[in-house]
Amino acid sequence: MASLGPDRSDLIALLDFHAEAGVDIMLDETPHDRFTEADLAPPARETFGDTRRDVPSAPRPELRREPLPSRDATPEPRPAAPRTFGGSASAKPEEAAIDARAKAAETQSLEALEALLRDFEGCGLRFTAKNLVFADGNPAARVMFVGEAPGADEDRVGKPFMGRSGQLLDRMMAAVGLDRTSAYIANIVPWRPPGNRNPTPQEVAICRPFIERQIALVNPAILVCLGAPSTQTLTGTKDGILRARGRFFPYALPDGREIRALATLHPAYLLRQPVQKRLAWRDFRALRAALDATT
């Protein structure tokens, strides 16, 4: 018996025709004039969970706009930030160096010089270091050792040559009959540079008047410059340390007298280059001979 309804393939073909024509959804069984409906006011949207319809919308709050400041108005000054660790120098490097020289010349004792350094704000290293590393040893000693700048161990303790390089220096001094009771130890720069970097020329220039005054107040018979920065700063030579080491340079004191300054290798360099200890041993033997000749 033949089927009275449409064939399934015909229905599929009809759906394909509508799909190609753009009809992809059925809205209602009867047609609607959507253009007319667009002109009508839309019904109030139903609130989720609320069974009431045609709920009137709440009035919008009135927005208050503050008047913009005039361009000619003077802004209120902000309060100054409190001073904390990590501040900056109070003067330009050139001005700080001049100020350092004038203040250092006025000090008449090592205690006064140390107190001056504790309050000195012309060098930015003061604000990044933990401690002032002024000196160690005997101020009445006949020999004074001068290094470059403190490291992390020295910054923590507040005394020069406290780490591995200090232990090596102690052994080097002991080999020629010296120790910290018969020697005086200081640095060109009394504050540790961040990250153990080398001091900048500006930082050295600012701190140089202090170490020069420190040397004058100690008044040693022999000055020992540990490493190239100390040697070049105090003697004025441009030679590298391997060329300058083992030589005595004249060092002029403010009163016109001259003392002898011996250039030698820095203990930190010897820790990196142990084979060069033989050269340092020659220098320390020359130091011992010079000390014996001045007694």
Summarize pLDDT for 58-105 with one digit per residue, the tens: 566 565 665 655 555 555 555 443 333 445 566 788 999 999 999 999
User: In sequence order, which residues have a C-beta less than 8 Å from that of residue 90 and are 6 or more positions away?
Assistant: 96, 121, 122
pLDDT at 81: 39
pLDDT band at residue 36 using 50, 70 and 90 as cut-offs = low
CATH 3.40.470.10 fits 93-294, yes or no: yes
Predicted pLDDT of residue 51: 47
Both structure tokens of 116:
């001056």
Average pLDDT of 1-18?
A: 68
Local confidence band at 27 (pLDDT 50, 70, 90 cut-offs): low
* 12-16, 170-174, 291-295: least confidently modelled range: 12-16
In the chain, % of residues over pLDDT 90: 66
Handedness of CA 157, 163, 169, 173 (dihedral sign): positive
Asked whether 283 and 260 are in contact (CB, 8 A), the reply is no
Domain range annotation of the chain: 93-294
* Higher per-residue confidence, 23 vs 14: 14
End-to-end CA distance of the chain: 141
Return the structure tokens found at 55: 């709920």
More confident residue, 292 or 92: 292
Which residue, 225, 229, 220, is CA-closest to 253?
A: 220
pLDDT beyond 50 at 262: yes
* Confidence class for position 151, pLDDT limits 50, 70, 90: very high
Sole residue written with tokens 């799909």: 19
pTM: 0.70
pLDDT for res 109: 97
